[in-house]
Amino acid sequence: MTQKLTFTTASVRNLVISNPTDTLYYEVLTPKWELHQTTVRRLDTHANRYDTVGSIRSQSSKPVAVSMYSGEFVNEELWLRKIEGQDQQSRWEFDDGEGNYFSWAVTGSNFEVRKYGVQSPTPIATFYPHRRHFMVTMVSQQAFLEIESSVVDSLDTVIGAVC
């Protein structure tokens, strides 16, 4: 069974990723007073508060760094490892800190996340970009991330890798 997480842009620097019932609700923020820092927060619906899932820091003189769960910032190349592939195809690998390894790669106009080391014809998460009527008019389909229910426990890390 899959869930559909819709991407909704509230402003240029604010993105919401949620399912229709908002039980899975993430907010991606880049405040104008901290343009070098993007924060990913998850809404805890039981406690009615936001928990910081991760932060991405991009300063002009330093490499991009990632922090998960308010931990130390690490170089993004250590967290999201690029693996060169055949025919100009590349993929990126990352782990959720609990021994689960994932890889994502661009497939057509979508990108897919797969559990690393598991040969499965279906990805555990697929990002579908928005679509427009006749490529120029109003949006006919919002961007969304379709996830397998098995990935919900590692969703914080998957969202961090997607953003």
Full DSSP string of 84-112:
E-GGG-EEEEEE-SSS-EEEEEEETTEEE
43 neighbors 26 (Cβ within 8 angstroms): yes
Using CA atoms, how far apart are residues 131 and 137, in angstroms rounded to an integer? 10
Per-residue pLDDT tens digits of the chain, which is 163 residues long: 788 888 888 777 888 999 888 889 999 999 989 889 999 999 998 888 999 999 999 988 888 898 888 889 988 888 888 777 665 566 788 887 777 888 888 877 778 888 877 777 788 888 887 666 666 667 667 778 888 887 777 788 777 776 6
Q: 9 φ, ψ to 5°?
A: -95, 115
pTM listed for this prediction: 0.80
